[in-house]
Amino acid sequence: MNRSPHNPQEQAIRVIAGNIPDPEIPVLTLSDLGVIRSVSVDGNAVTVGIAPTYSGCPATEYIEESVITELQQNGFNNVKTERVLTPAWTTDWISEDGRRKLKEYGIVPPDKAAESKRALFNQGLQIACPRCSSDKTTKVSEFGSTPCKSSYKCSDCLEPFEYFKCL
């Protein structure tokens, strides 16, 4: 991935779009999430390439609209977005900063290295409670309030919490 900006204007657009909060997990910005893939400026036409997270995630369209709106408010009136499927978004695209914020928010960040089948199939995966750090946790459901999370419970402090699934 090439994240180096080509010019100051593209850099500025990247910052504005990158600072928009994710609609479903507002502690994360789009930049933390790793979904802003490209910015190009041609005359006054701006194109922002955005990677969808889960195929059917309703947040995808909301994110695209918020990028357009936010840029318009900053004086860019000719903005369009395009979906970037390659390389596919995985949870490895979430930044270190984003992982820290997730944990502070009470969502256990995804196991690193989503490409490994071990992680994908949760084999030998120890999910520690984000509140008391205990390893004695049980999965309540593989699926949760959004496509990207599973539901867990801590057996020590009884905290119910969510785990950001590996993709």
Partner 1 sequence: MSTDNEQLFAYLLRLGDNAVILGQQLGDWVGKGPELEEEMAMANFALDYVGQARMFYSLAAEVEGKGHNEDELAFLRDGMDFHNFLLVEQPNGDFATTIARQFYFETFYQLQLDALAASSEPRLAEIAIKASKEIHYHVRHTRLWLVRLGDGTEESHRRMQSAIDDLWRYTGEMFVADETDLWAAESGTGPNPAELHTDWSELVMTTLTEATLSQPEGEWMASGGKQGIHSEHLGFLLADMQFLQRAYPGATW
How far the first Cα of the chain sits from its last, in Å, is 18
In which element (H, E) is residue 82 found?
strand 78-83
Find, among 36, 43, 50, the residue nearest to 9 by Cα: 43
Q: Are 166 and 89 in contact (CB under 8 A)?
A: no
| Cα separation values, 18 from 42, 80, 118, Å | 20, 15, 31
Q: Per CB under 8 A, does 74 bind partner 1? A: no
Q: Which stretch binds partner 1 (CB under 8 A): 30-38, 39-47, 82-90, 130-138?
A: 82-90
Coil, strand or helix at 39? strand
Specify whether the backbone of 113 is left (phi greater than 0), alpha (psi in -120 to 50) or beta.
left
Binding mask 97-136 for partner 1 (x = CB under 8 A): -----------------------xx---------------
Please select the residue that binds partner 1; options are 136, 142, 155, 158, rule is CB under 8 A: 142
Does 23 bind partner 1 (CB under 8 A)? Our answer is no
User: Exactly one of 69, 72, 78, 141 binds partner 1 (CB under 8 A); which one?
Assistant: 141
> By CB under 8 A, is residue 88 in contact with partner 1?
yes
Q: Which span sits near partner 1 by CB under 8 A: 19-27, 29-37, 72-80, 140-148? A: 140-148
What are the residues binding partner 1 (CB under 8 A)?
Answer: 52, 54-58, 85-86, 88-90, 120-121, 140-145, 147, 151, 165, 167
